[in-house]
Amino acid sequence: MTYDLYIGDRTFSSWSLRGWLMLEKFGLPYRTHLVGLYSGTLASDLAELAPARTVPVLRTAEGYVVTDSLAMAETLAERHPEAGLWPSDPAARALARSMAAEMHSGFGALRGDCPMMLAHGWSGFQASEAVMADVARLETLWTLARQSHGVDGPWLFGTYSLADVFYAPAVTRLATYDLPTGDVAKAYVETTLSDPAFRAWRAEGLSQSYDPMPYRQNATEVDWPFP
């Protein structure tokens, strides 16, 4: 069965990155369709995918449409239990699901003030107290996962899981806006942004240019901080 995945612009669409990683990292077959998130054609591009209004959107081989990243995650985990999308250990799985749900519904300051930007970084960005509170919460969750369940590998729960999928865009924000963190978070940022799948996603996004570039900031544009 081959899935059809509908995504927005790779450089900016954090939710699209999540949808793509769910398929790419677990070896599930898919075709990618880019819709006009920033060109103004989103509604028409998704017209045949009711009730979809945003990206990502997943369409199964049977024609079922799944319109939310958390719903996509559970649908794929249900359909592909052998792929190991969630940790196998019950305690780890419970924490991973809780963390993914919190990422899905929370961290509003980090999302709002620090849009995903993979074309370059920012130097001198002034983070608000609310943003830094979100960063502290990330560090708390990541440290808990790593110390409790991550000893067998570099990911949050040792091996790659849907928890890593959901936190990948948050990782990019820490790097892009040069937000200060401790050693656990720094190591996890390096692991995520050095991963070949993420690097392939970013490279594909850089093939498209924008004038003007979205999401200007009151800061100095600098080179992307990772290879």
Which tens digits make up the pLDDT trace of 83-125? Answer: 999 999 999 999 999 999 999 999 999 999 999 999 999 999 9
DSSP per-residue string spanning 116-156: ---S-EEES----HHHHHHHHHHHHHHHHHHHHH-TTSSBT
Domain 3-83's class? alpha beta
Q: pLDDT of the chain along its 227 residues, tens only? A: 899 999 999 999 999 999 999 999 999 999 999 999 988 899 999 999 999 999 999 999 999 999 999 999 999 999 999 999 999 999 999 999 999 999 999 999 999 999 999 999 999 999 999 999 999 999 999 999 999 999 999 999 999 999 999 999 999 999 999 999 999 999 999 999 999 999 999 999 999 999 999 999 999 999 999 88
Which H helix or E strand runs over 65? strand 65-66
Token pair recorded at residue 97: 């699901």
Report the C-alpha gap between 151 and 118 in whole angstroms. Answer: 29
The yes/no answer on whether domain 90-203 falls in CATH 1.20.120.920 is: no
List the chain domain ranges.
3-83, 90-203
